[in-house]
């Protein structure tokens, strides 16, 4: 499995079968400091309708037809805010189960609320968790940390944060989230760059850098 962090909440994941998935592609100019999304994927999965998450037209379809086993995909309906969508509408958590990779992949979208016990049970112990940490539009660093403790994924990648020259001014960086992980131990912290090849064996926090300029 290869994981590429395009930026914001957008990831490209290529499973061991060659099947590729793009999560939450953003529209050109919608996220300060990030280049246009110009990628090829078999499947596009969008957590909600905001243009920094649902620019499906920016993702090209591959020239070949995929003939291998398709992953199982499930959605959990949640909210983009703490008041049942009254501020920012709905949000979907996406669960991808890939049998050849023996992996459960969870993309939290722009989660802005807590989860019920039933919802938590569906994603608890997942192999990879992509979770927003920047706050304002989503849960913040501390809320993301508390949710990670409940989900207890093998690997976690923070997303939807601001950094040096990219991201929204109103959202935070990843420093507080990383510090909370560091203080509470039990998880290796890896500066992973733009691309990760294969998931780590132990419990890990993967700090990824966005691919700043795709064109």
Q: How confident is the model at residue 99 (pLDDT cuts 50, 70, 90)?
A: confident
How far apart (Å, rounded) are the C-alpha atoms in residues 21 and 165?
27
Percent of the chain with pLDDT over 70: 98
Report pLDDT for 67: 85
Q: Which position has the higher pLDDT, 127 or 38?
A: 127
- pTM of the model as a whole: 0.95
Residue carrying the six token digits 């109103």: 170
Report pLDDT for 155: 97
Question: Quick check: 125 pLDDT over 70?
Answer: yes
Q: How distant, in Å, are the alpha carbons of 8, 157, 192 from that of 76?
A: 21, 19, 28
Q: Please state, rounded to an integer, the average pLDDT across all residues of the chain.
A: 94
> Measuring CA to CA, which residue among 105, 75, 73 is closest to residue 90?
75
* Cβ within 8 Å of residue 83, ≥6 positions away: none
According to DSSP, the residues that pair with 13 across neighbouring strands are: 3, 21
Report pLDDT for 213: 58
The answer to whether 166 touches 7, Cβ cutoff 8 Å, is yes
Report pLDDT for 135: 95
According to DSSP, the residues that pair with 205 across neighbouring strands are: 156, 189
Q: How confident is the model at residue 215 (pLDDT cuts 50, 70, 90)?
A: very low
> Measuring CA to CA, which residue among 139, 121, 140, 158 is closest to residue 9?
158
**137-193: pLDDT as tens digits:** 999 999 999 999 999 999 999 999 999 999 999 999 999 999 999 998 789 999 999
Question: Quick check: 199 pLDDT over 50?
Answer: yes
77 by DSSP, 3-state: which?
strand
**39-69: pLDDT as tens digits:** 999 999 999 999 999 999 999 999 888 988 8
Residue carrying the six token digits 């909370």: 180
Report pLDDT for 69: 87
CA dihedral 22, 49, 139, 153 (to 10 degrees): -30
Burial readout 86-119 (b: 16 or more C-beta within 10 A, e: otherwise) = eebebbbbbbbbbeebebbbbbbbbbbbebeeee
**What value, to the nearest 5°, has the Cα angle with vertex 12 and ends 91 and 6?**
85
Q: 200-204 long-range contacts, Cβ below 8 Å, gap at least 24?
A: 200/154, 200/155, 202/154, 203/153, 203/154, 203/155, 204/154, 204/155, 204/156
98 by DSSP, 3-state: which?
strand
């Amino acid at each position: 499995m290869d994981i590429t962090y395009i930026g914001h909440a957008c990831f490209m994941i290529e499973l061991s079968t060659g099947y590729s998935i793009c999560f939450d592609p953003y529209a050109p100019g919608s996220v300060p400091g990030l280049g246009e999304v110009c990628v090829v994927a078999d499947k596009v999965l969008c957590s909600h309708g905001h243009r920094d998450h649902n620019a499906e037209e920016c993702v090209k379809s591959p020239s070949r037809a995929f003939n291998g086993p398709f992953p199982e995909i499930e959605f959990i309906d949640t909210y983009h805010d703490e008041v049942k969508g009254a501020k920012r509408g709905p949000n979907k958590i996406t669960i991808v189960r890939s049998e050849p990779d023996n992996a459960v992949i969870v993309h939290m979208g722009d989660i802005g609320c807590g989860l019920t016990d039933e919802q938590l049970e569906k994603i608890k112990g997942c192999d990879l968790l992509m979770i927003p940490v920047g706050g304002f539009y989503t849960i913040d660093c501390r809320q993301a940390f508390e949710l990670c403790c409940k989900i207890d994924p093998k690997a976690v990648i923070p997303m939807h944060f601001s950094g040096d020259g990219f991201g929204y001014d109103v959202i935070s960086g990843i420093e507080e989230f990383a510090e909370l992980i560091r203080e509470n131990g039990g998880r290796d912290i890896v500066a992973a760059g733009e691309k990760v090849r294969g998931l780590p064996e132990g419990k890990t926090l993967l700090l990824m850098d966005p691919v700043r300029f795709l064109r």
